[in-house]
Structure 1
Amino acid sequence: MQALQDTAGRPVEIVDAADGLRPALNVCRARSAVIVKLAEGIGPAEIGAGLAGWRRTLTVSDAGELITVDPRDAVTRRWTSPDAVLCLADNEFLQSNDGWALPDDSFASRTHVLGAEVRAFVLARLAPRPGVLVWDVLAGSGAVGVECARLGAAVIAVEPDPVQCVRIIANASAHGVDVRVEEAELDAPSLPRPDAVFVGRGEITAVKASAAVSARRVVVATESVDEIVPARDALQAAGYEVEGVHWTASRLLDSGFAPAVPVTVLWGSKK
């Protein structure tokens, strides 16, 4: 273990695969240096396979030897007696210590981002934390996904607009976190199963596809009144208990209150 820590050359987090493969993988996906203590049935191959799509290097402690491999090679290599794996990102990421629901101008965006007041509520419903995976679908500039990553979650942002994808990458970099970006419409079967999903617009196709993966929590934000009932019905049809709130938050200015953009937030949960 000490040899792996020395190899990392930066502070590391240590997780035990005996507590579950998915939480261990999600910490590796979110953090820049993680040592995974291996368990029965969970070896370098399982760690490597779960990191497809993330830029990581693995160093495996195997029979007293340290072996550095690409995650893909970890899947195919024959191992003797591995007991731990160091998962290392190219860069060191920051850890949030200054709260959440950052000011709107903390994010580069083509249009307005989801306001900080609404974002705080959305984060409360998503419950991002170390060991979980969040999808940010129709992510826009990625403000919600970046906030989730700052709170320790692994994040995949799905956005078909290539210009917005560049902004997501820039925003993640500016805040020192890692967000995997998929420049496409949501292709749920190709992605690892999430613990929570945020849908940044109420487009019914995206809501249905997000609900179909059976994450424990799905949160939908929409500014369109016409999207509210179809989104609610899609979540209920997928077996979610659905609640909602209509937000109008006007910020205080010297001369009164700023114009508000009403947003409806729906959230579905499964027991």
Structure 2
Amino acid sequence: MITVLGQTHIGTSLTDESSALVAGAALVVGARRHLDAAGVPADRALALGPLAPALDAVALLREKDPDAHVVVLASGDPGFFGIVRSLARRFGAEALDVRPGISSIAHAFARLGVPWDDAVAVSAHGRDPRRAFNICRAQRKVGVLTAPGAGPAEIGAALAAMPGLRRRLVVAADLGTEAESLVEVSPAEAAARAWPAVNVVLSLADSAPPVADMMRAVAGFEGAPEGGWALPEEAFEHRDAMLTKAEVRAFALARLGPRLGELVWDVGAGSGSVAVECARLGAAAVAVERDADGVERIRANAAAHGVAHAVAVVHGRAPEALAELPDPDAVFVGGGGADLAAVVGAAAARARRTVVVTLAALDRVPEARRALLDAQLIVEGVQLQANRLAPLPGAVTRLAATNPVFVLWGTRPAATAATVSQGVPK
């Protein structure tokens, strides 16, 4: 039998029952701090480094003595982003006796005195930290299980890199010990400090109260709100019908594939309809717009659709305005000015997955396509034209044609995307 003990308070004494299990175990596995806190003798202790060798050692012991009792010491709830998954996959769930403690994220929210059923929980431990960074950029209330390279300083820097996003971070360190601390800081302050090694981070949008008004039925992110996606044009403030039509937006969103944990740029955003839709689907978004009145419309549209916390707005001209932005997973480029090729090229050089370009002018298609190809993307395209039903006098209906639009999209090959993702995360 493998007993997994989740310790709520690392460094405190084990219960009598847990102490007896540790004392009777042939092998005790855990992080060095867990083993030291439990007083495990060196001849029966296996300190975790890389997980695979530890699992191999447990397997070898069980082969020699099928009745040998193994104890695994873990933090909090080991079934919540923890070691239970690896143990069950290797040895089978029937071999495990799991005794969970309280998750450190639950513990941190409890210290604040607020519920966390409306929070998104994400682990950065052993994973690409960009996902955690982008979820903090996109969601109002997030609990992060941190890791080296994805701790409070890195999360703070990632949030500070998003213009206009307002967050406060709560860093809960050494929970349950005499050194326990709960510190509230701005992202910039978090980025500038050194932090204890054992911590979790809570990211809270300034625009949202810590206690939600309504009881939740589903924990965390529930997906796009009512109304679906590809919203009608009247759902957005715009100038002279200068926004991406619903049919084209639907196709563009399908190619962008925005989802929780990703970052999307909307370049030449206009009304910000694409950025807003991406945020409603769970992604973090940056809307880049050169006109001051357009910037205000984007902010108004984001607020109207409840995603102002997830849409950063940059007032500037692309491609120059793109230089300091965090690297995106996907980019939408609207419009088609004289600098189109440079904008598409800059976007294609930074996008980890895909770039979508919409064009009204046929003359601009070759240069946009060439910019995508020059970035080594796989390029496809289509012309879209919708004919909408429109009423006529006499209770009859006609087809009203919308202007045709060219849509190009470039997709990064999988091998190249893996190379791009190995860069320094922003």
SS at match of 2:381: strand
| Counterpart position of 2:264 | 134
Contact 1:43 1:82 in 2 (8 A): no
Q: Which runs of 5+ in 2 are unaligned?
A: 1-104, 175-179, 210-221, 393-397, 414-426
- The partner residue of 2:134 within 26, 39, 46 is 26
Contact 1:199 1:221 in 2 (8 A): yes
| Counterpart position of 2:151 | 43
- The partner residue of 1:244 within 381, 401, 405 is 381
- The partner residue of 1:68 within 177, 184, 195 is 184
| Counterpart position of 1:257 | 399
Structure with the greater alpha carbon radius of gyration: 2
Alignment of 1:52-201 (within 5 A): 52=160, 53=162, 54-63=165-174, 64-92=180-208, 96-98=224-226, 99-112=228-241, 113-177=243-307, 178-186=310-318, 187-201=321-335
| Counterpart position of 1:227 | 364
SS at match of 1:251: strand
Contact 1:24 1:36 in 2 (8 A): yes
- Which one-letter code corresponds to 2:108 in the other structure? L
Give the number of the structure with larger relative contact order, counting CA–CA contacts within 8 Å between residues 6 or more apart: 1
| Counterpart position of 1:268 | 410
Contact 1:156 1:179 in 2 (8 A): yes
Q: CA deviation at 1:168?
A: 0.3
SS at match of 1:155: strand
Q: Distance in 2 between matches of 1:57 and 1:83?
A: 16
Match status 1:216 vs 2:358? no
Worse-superposed segment, 144-153 or 213-222:
213-222
Contact 1:197 1:215 in 2 (8 A): no
Q: Which runs of 5+ in 1 are unaligned?
A: none
Q: Distance in 2 between matches of 1:27 and 1:176?
A: 16
| Counterpart position of 2:61 | none
Q: CA deviation at 1:9?
A: 5.4
Q: CA deviation at 1:147?
A: 0.3
Q: Distance in 2 between matches of 1:80 and 1:101?
A: 45
Q: CA deviation at 1:152?
A: 0.1
- Which one-letter code corresponds to 2:313 in the other structure? V
SS at match of 2:134: helix
Contact 1:60 1:82 in 2 (8 A): no
Q: Distance in 1 between matches of 2:196 and 2:108?
A: 18
SS at match of 1:258: strand
Worse-superposed segment, 205-214 or 142-151:
205-214
CA-based RMSD of the aligned residues comes to 1.7
Contact 1:135 1:156 in 2 (8 A): yes
SS at match of 1:59: strand
CA deviation map 1:169-220 (0-9, x unaligned): 0000000002100000133330100000000113223212212214310000
Worse-superposed segment, 159-168 or 13-22:
13-22
Worse-superposed segment, 180-189 or 101-110:
180-189
Aligned residue pairs: how many? Answer: 271
Match status 1:16 vs 2:123? yes
TM-score, structure 1 normalization: 0.95
Contact 2:153 2:194 in 1 (8 A): no
